[in-house]
Chain A
Amino acid sequence: MATIPVMGVVAIIVFGLIHISPTDPAAVIAGDYATPAHVEEIRQQLQLDRPIHEQFLTWVGHVLSGDLGDSIFSERPVLQLILARLEPTVSLALMTILVAVVIAVPIGVVAAWQARTVLDRALMLLATLGISVPAFWIGYLLIFSVALDLGWLPVQGYASLSEGLWPFLSHLILPSITLGTAYAALIARITRASMLEVMGQDYIRTARAKGLPMRKVLIGHALRAAAIPIVTVIGLGFALLIGGVVITESVFAIPGIGRLTVDSIQRKDIPVIQGVLLVFSAVYVVVNLLVDLLYTLLDPRIRYAG
């Protein structure tokens, strides 16, 4: 139930922020050679000359009926534009999380198990590098080495799953490694920290004392108990990725939500900006809800009231 007032506040903030910015979409649409009269004509045609409160109420009314409006520039429904960008964004997000989790969780577990050894320091140094190195630099490095020099993968673009599994995957490998590096670093550090806390518990000491194999101690007991903060970070990371990652999408020319958002902000394509921010605020709320529900599966002690 808290979702509704949250979304209401988001709507007001989104609308307000957009209309504070000085860019006039009518001027951008009209182009460099247009006369001021032409610009004003466009402004009136797009109803951008109406009072702000009128524009807001009209927009809210449409949103409540499921209509996010049309793009000022392409005149396509905003929802259609978002849905067209959804597949690349969700695909990239899932692949990135997969890459990050597959790399990070084992690293974090091993680092915790080998805490304060050279191996631990080395793995955490890798994690620090992963967070510190800019994504675009990693992207360029991968493009020029793997795609251009070796020719193993495409340089840029996106291929839908309908074009075949390998084209789909081959276009996602480099971007997901680029993005996944930072997320892997973050998840690895959280995993290590959470595992260290759990492995100091009495029941872990008891399990080891009873002769349980180390693998079972780490994965069967400690990791499961340490999972809540890890799952939280993964969930938040996924929600952020769904909102679009403009740098990676720009470097690899993936037509995702991130680029849609930034392009629209630059042009002040108001309906698209409002629509995207609203939809993905809702996605963020839903993902948080799902993460909260996942807690109950991971930790039987957690039960929600009602």
Chain B
Amino acid sequence: MSGRISSVLGTPARRLGAASALAIAAALGLQNAPVLAQDDTLRVVIHADLRNLDPIWTTAGITLAHGYMIYDKLYEFDSAGVPQPQMADGHTVSEDGLVWTITLRDGLMFHDGDPVTAEDVVASLERWWQRDGMGQTLAGVTESLEAVDASTVRITLSEPFGLVLDALAGIRGNPPFIMPADVAATPADEQITDYTGSGPYVFLADAWEPGSTVVYERFADYVPRDEPADFMSGGKVVNFDRVEWVYIPDSTTTMASLMAGEVDIWELVPPDLAVAMEGSPGIVVERGAYSHGVIRPNHLIPPFDQPEARQTLLHLVDQSDVLAAAIGDEALWQECAAYLTCGGPYESEAGVVGVVAEPDIERAAELLQASGYDGSPIVILDPTDLPDLHAVALYVGQQLRAAGATVDVQAMDWSTLTSRRTSTAPVDEGGWNILVTYTGGLEAASPLTNITLAANCENAWFGWPCDQEIEDLRTAWRTESDVEARREIAEALQVRAYEVVPYVPYGQFFTSRAHRDDITGYIPGTPISVYWNVDRVE
């Protein structure tokens, strides 16, 4: 068939089309399309979707971040790792170290206008320490917790415990947020439904769209401390009327959104995009909190029920190779053989075997043989939806094969892995031999909060290492108050850890956070991203 197109469309139709387009454009009043961040609103791209709102019921990081927006705590850690008063005005300790008396600051109020009292504190702590590991330790040495008067709390211990303030300043796990007493009366195994807090922001429940947006507004009656903000402590000064958390699942879109000025802060930037954004106009990329890599063998089932098999892993892992594969840019990682992290008070090279040296495949093969390994497939759980851990899993599999092992790297998503890791069964019944993960650097720096170092058998974290000497050393550290003695205990703990191998540390690496260059005061190195002290330069 032939024919000119114009005879089909017709000139009058084209003229009509053009006129219509102009009319529509005029009617819509076309303006600049990008919605730039408004001055009084801080827009933050969060790392995960907020689903649960009770930071005592779950340990999910995003819920803790929500908690830091709307609640406050008695103490917070400063950048030197020292607990500082936050809601507390101060404390006294009896001579025998058994009675701790904490006084509340004046002017503390909940979002509903009620004053914060000692009763609220007692109820909140009693709910908290049913859940949190550090809290349970504190509860175990506490004889009584009482409200002496409206602004005074007394903790009476059964034995000296030097970590009371550390427990009250705990950042992760389940932080000891202070809630109204009636809310804190909610059983610890149920979720709260009232989100009244006394923190710097108020949660706007009606504006919450799961999977999309979380909205907070400034709490007008919040009284920040006078000290400048220092890590998690100090004055929590709020400079924005409103904070909007935006959940954007796609990293490339988030990057474009930040570059277009649609959002102000991106709290967790993938390593490859952090490199891509370095030097981009209008963008500042900063190093965030650090993490401690963990390659966790399952101590319950063969072959890693044998110490020789676990020591095999020490000779197979070269941290620089792992981190280069998992993280990439050298500026974002560092080798660290210390179980209690590098840069912390217990950094040590005592007892180190392998991990920061060239892999010794021959020695690893010898140890594997000596363990009685029978050639059965070693199952490695591989979370393919987390690129960094995926790389670590593949590396470990590759190295084990080099040592003569039969390896079964099983691909799955992280959610499935969190279910699978609970299995204590043999691998042919759904069990596992190795999982790869990481923990917060701050938590890993202490023998008490490094849960992957604990070797309390069936009560230990997944992998269930079991070693009485490690547990005795952890208890000794907890009850010791002398700084130098603690350091010696920590060193002995590391020496023992390299013998028992509760896990293989694969080094330290840093998250990245990015923000627009008109944003000031953002504290990037906190383990949980916080939004006080942030301001916009006019």
Whether the pair B211, A36 counts as a contact (CB closer than 8 A) is no
**Whole-angstrom distance between the alpha carbons of A74 and B250 in the complex?**
22
- Nearest-neighbor residue (CB-CB) of B190 within chain A: A45
Given A147-B260, A152-B33: A114 in contact with B1 (beta carbons within 8 A) = yes
CB distance from B243 to the nearest CB of A (A): 16
Q: A30-B58, A143-B253 are in contact. Are A115 and B211 (CB under 8 A)?
A: no
CA distance A84 to B213 in the complex (A): 12
Q: Are A266 and B419 in contact (CB under 8 A)?
A: no
B120 interfacial contact with A, CB 8 Å = no
Say whether B210 faces chain A, with CB atoms less than 8 Å apart: yes
Q: Is the CB of A151 within 8 A of B34?
A: yes
B363: min CB distance to chain A, Å: 33
The answer to whether A268 has its CB under 8 Å from any CB of chain B is: yes
A31 contacts B59, C-beta separation under 8 Å: yes
Question: A268 touches which one: B213, B247, B415 (CB < 8 A)?
Answer: B415
Q: Per-position contact with A for B47-62: 1 when CB-CB < 8 Å, else 0? A: 0010110000011110
B250 touches A250 (CB 8 A): yes
- A24 contacts B253, C-beta separation under 8 Å: no
Contact between A33 and B172, CB atoms less than 8 A apart: yes
Our pick among A21, A29, A144 for the contact of B52 (Cβ within 8 Å) is A29
B133 contacts chain A at the CB level, 8 A cutoff: yes
| Of A81, A155, A169, the contact of B260 (CB 8 Å cutoff) | A155
Cα of A85 to Cα of B191 in the assembled complex, Å: 25
Give the chain A neighbours of B2 by CB distance below 8 A.
114
For the complex, is A260 an interface residue (Cβ under 8 Å from B)?
yes
- Nearest-neighbour CB distance to chain A for B349, whole angstroms, equals 28
Which residue among A33, A113, A158, A215 has the maximum number of chain B CB atoms within 10 Å of its CB? A33
Q: How far is the CA of A21 from the CA of B419 in the complex (A)?
A: 11
A residues 4-37 touching B (CB-CB < 8 Å): 21-24, 27-36
Given contacts A75-B191, A214-B8, contact A260 B211 (CB under 8 A): yes
A154-B173 contact, Cβ under 8 Å, with A22-B420, A74-B51 = no
Does A263 sit at the interface, judged by CB under 8 A? yes
Quote the shortest CB–CB distance from A110 to chain B (angstroms). 7
Set A29, A253, A266: member contacting B250, Cβ < 8 A: A253
B189 close to A (CB within 8 Å): yes
Would you give the 0/1 interface string for B63-100, flagging 1 where the beta carbon is closer than 8 Å to chain A? 10000000000000000000000000000000000000
Judge if A224 is at the interface, Cβ distance under 8 Å. no
Cβ contacts under 8 Å, A75 to chain B: 191
Interface string of A149-163 (1 = CB under 8 A from B): 001111111110000
Q: Residue A199 at the B interface, CB < 8 A?
A: yes
Interface size (A, Cβ < 8 Å)?
66
Q: Is B32 an interface residue (CB 8 A)?
A: yes
Contact indicator B5/A155 (Cβ below 8 Å): no
**Residues 43 to 82 of chain A near chain B (Cβ within 8 Å):** 45, 71, 73-76, 81
B142 CB to closest chain A CB (Å) equals 20
Name the CB-closest residue of B to A166: B28
> Which chain B positions have C-beta within 8 A of A27?
418-419, 422
Query: In whole angstroms, how far apart are the Cα atoms of A279 and B519 in the complex?
Result: 44
With beta carbons under 8 angstroms apart, the residue of B10, B248, B252, B437 that contacts A215 is B10
Decide yes or no whether A267 CB sits under 8 A from chain B. yes
Chain B residues with CB under 8 Å of chain A are 1-3, 5, 7-10, 28-35, 49, 51-52, 58-61, 63, 131, 133, 172-174, 189-191, 209-213, 246-250, 252-253, 256-257, 259-260, 262, 412-413, 415-416, 418-420, 422, 437, 439, 451, 459
| A-B pairs, 9 with minimum CB distance | A31-B59, A24-B419, A73-B51, A255-B212, A33-B59, A153-B33, A253-B248, A31-B60, A27-B418
Residues of A within 8 A of B (CB): 21-24, 27-36, 38-39, 41-42, 45, 71, 73-76, 81, 84-85, 110, 113-115, 140, 143-144, 147-148, 151-159, 165-167, 169-170, 199, 213-215, 218, 250-253, 255, 259-260, 263, 266-268
| 13 more CB-based (< 8 A) A-B contacts, given A32-B418, A110-B5, A113-B3 | A22-B420, A24-B422, A29-B51, A30-B59, A33-B172, A33-B174, A35-B459, A73-B51, A74-B52, A113-B1, A154-B34, A214-B7, A253-B257
